[in-house]
């Protein structure tokens, strides 16, 4: 870090100059932050506590919620504090930590969304082999591969970014530390580094997106052949939320990194960053819970004890909570029932 700059802190972008707009930003981001905590927290608790959700689909959804929580923790609290107290400053080590964690969580989420698309493909297109292909060990390995790949990607990008000298000031045109804005402060020719960053990021996003699209082409082809209307509806209800999250996530990410320089402006960069770094963690739980009956039932079962009268019977411990973590990872082989083939 000592070789990367001659100063000890960065100044983050302020959303507004007037106190009224700063407070508006504070309450808006606080609402999004609390919504993300509540939504993802409920999903994590519901999947961990309801034995009916012990299958690969919900195991990957639990991982996605953990990633969303991590993303919202990295970007939003510092921005909220800036709007309330207006410090704007973040230490170089704090900025490096923010860069590392953000570039760890974001690619991991792309990888995990790709794994989730593969899970749906196997469940719908190869249901007889689902128990073999998507065993508990295989699911854990897939999730571990996604997390490990994201960690390696973040390590390489963070080391690459903070190994160059920065002498063009310390003001970042973003509300959190983001690599493209840090590279703009370099006093050396960063064209090749920026080009490499764009190429690597675009390849990761585009490769995952192509795999997901190909998976869903085969999924929808198989779903349309299901004779039962109820079966088609159940299959679509499992696939469409995931597809909506993919479209939101990938489209904003691609636009953020591949938009032409002529379209670049502080306001547009800020808006795009909010759309792919702040909004998805709050919206994803809503998308997944709207059309998923099993998850909605689990959430109702989880929230009901808080809402009912004190004299009503509480949920039985042996029905509401797992004995241990191993039970969550030991998926049954009847998970294809979630997709209903008739």
Per-domain boundaries in the chain: 9-308+316-331
DSSP code of 316? P
Query: Which pLDDT score, from 0 to 100, does residue 307 have?
Result: 57
Task: Tell me the C-alpha distance between 46 and 268, whole Å.
Answer: 37
* 271-288 pLDDT per residue, tens: 888 888 888 888 888 887
Q: Which of 80-84, 177-181, 246-250, 328-332 has the lowest mean pLDDT?
A: 328-332
The pLDDT of residue 148 is 94
Look at the block and give the residue holding tokens 């309801």: 50
List CB contacts of 32: < 8 A, sequence separation 6 or more.
72, 76, 278, 279, 282
* 11 against 238, higher pLDDT: 11
pLDDT at site 7: 65
Mean pLDDT for the stretch of residues 107-132: 88
pLDDT at 277 (0 to 100) = 85
Statement: residue 324 has pLDDT above 50: no
Q: List all residues 6 or more positions away from 63 whose beta carbon is below 8 Å from its beta carbon.
A: 112, 143, 146, 147
Which sign, positive or negative, has the C-alpha torsion 226, 51, 324, 59?
Answer: positive
Q: Are 159 and 96 in contact (CB under 8 A)?
A: no
For the cut 60, the answer to whether the pLDDT of residue 268 exceeds it is yes
The whole-angstrom separation of Cα 223 and Cα 216 is 10
Q: pTM score, two decimals?
A: 0.81
Residue with tokens 């241990």: 324
CATH of the structural domain 9-308+316-331, one choice from 1.20.120.1200, 3.30.1330.100, 1.20.1070.10, 3.30.930.10: 1.20.1070.10
- Residues 8, 92: Cα–Cα separation, whole Å: 6
Find the mean pLDDT for residues 112-119. Answer: 91
Residue 336: per-residue pLDDT: 45
How far is Cα 213 from Cα 206, in angstroms, rounded to an integer? 10
Tens-digit pLDDT profile for residues 195-219: 677 677 777 777 888 898 898 889 8
Per-residue pLDDT tens over the stretch 81-96: 888 776 778 888 989 9
Find the radius of gyration of the CA atoms of the chain. 22
Three-state SS for 89? strand
**How many percent of the chain have pLDDT more than 70?**
80
Nearest to 33 by CA among 79, 85, 99, 66: 79
Residue 49 has pLDDT above 60, yes or no: yes
CA distances from 160 to 11, 93, 101 (A): 21, 15, 15
Q: How many CB atoms lie within 10 A of CB 231?
A: 15
What was the pLDDT predicted at 311?
43
Top mean pLDDT of 74-88, 138-152, 226-240 is at 138-152
Assign residue 88 a region: left if phi > 0, alpha if psi is -120 to 50, beta otherwise? left
Residue 291: DSSP 8-state? S
The stretch 49-65 carries a mean pLDDT of 87
């Amino acid at each position: 870090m000592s070789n990367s700059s001659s100063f000890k802190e960065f100044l983050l972008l302020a959303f507004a100059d007037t106190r009224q707009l700063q407070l508006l930003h504070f309450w808006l981001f606080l609402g999004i932050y609390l919504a993300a905590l509540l939504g993802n927290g409920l999903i994590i608790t519901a999947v961990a506590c309801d034995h009916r959700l012990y299958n690969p689909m919900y195991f990957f959804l639990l991982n996605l919620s953990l990633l969303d929580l991590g993303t919202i923790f990295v970007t939003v609290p510092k921005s909220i504090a800036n709007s309330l107290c207006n410090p704007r400053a973040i230490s170089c080590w704090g900025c490096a930590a923010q860069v590392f964690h953000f570039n760890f969580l974001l690619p991991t989420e792309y990888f995990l969304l790709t794994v989730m698309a593969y899970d749906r493909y196997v469940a719908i297109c190869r249901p007889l082999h689902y128990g073999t292909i998507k065993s508990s060990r295989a699911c854990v390995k897939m999730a571990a591969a996604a997390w490990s790949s994201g960690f390696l990607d973040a390590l390489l990008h963070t080391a690459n970014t903070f190994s160059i000298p920065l002498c063009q000031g310390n003001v970042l045109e973003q509300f959190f530390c983001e690599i493209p804005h840090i590279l703009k402060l370099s006093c050396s020719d960063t064209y090749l580094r920026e080009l490499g960053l764009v190429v690597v990021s675009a390849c990761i996003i585009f490769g995952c997106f192509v795999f997901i699209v190909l998976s869903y082409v085969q999924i929808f082809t198989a779903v349309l052949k299901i004779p039962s209307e109820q079966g088609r509806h159940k299959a679509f209800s499992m696939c469409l939320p995931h597809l909506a999250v993919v479209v939101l996530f990938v489209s904003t990410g691609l636009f953020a990194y591949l938009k032409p320089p002529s379209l670049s402006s502080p306001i547009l960069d800020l808006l795009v960053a909010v759309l792919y770094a702040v909004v998805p963690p709050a919206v994803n739980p809503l998308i997944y819970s709207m059309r998923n009956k099993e998850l909605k039932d689990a959430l109702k079962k989880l929230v009901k004890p808080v809402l009912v009268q004190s004299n009503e019977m509480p949920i039985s411990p042996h029905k509401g909570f797992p004995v241990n973590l191993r039970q969550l990872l030991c998926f049954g082989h009847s998970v294809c029932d979630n997709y209903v083939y008739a």
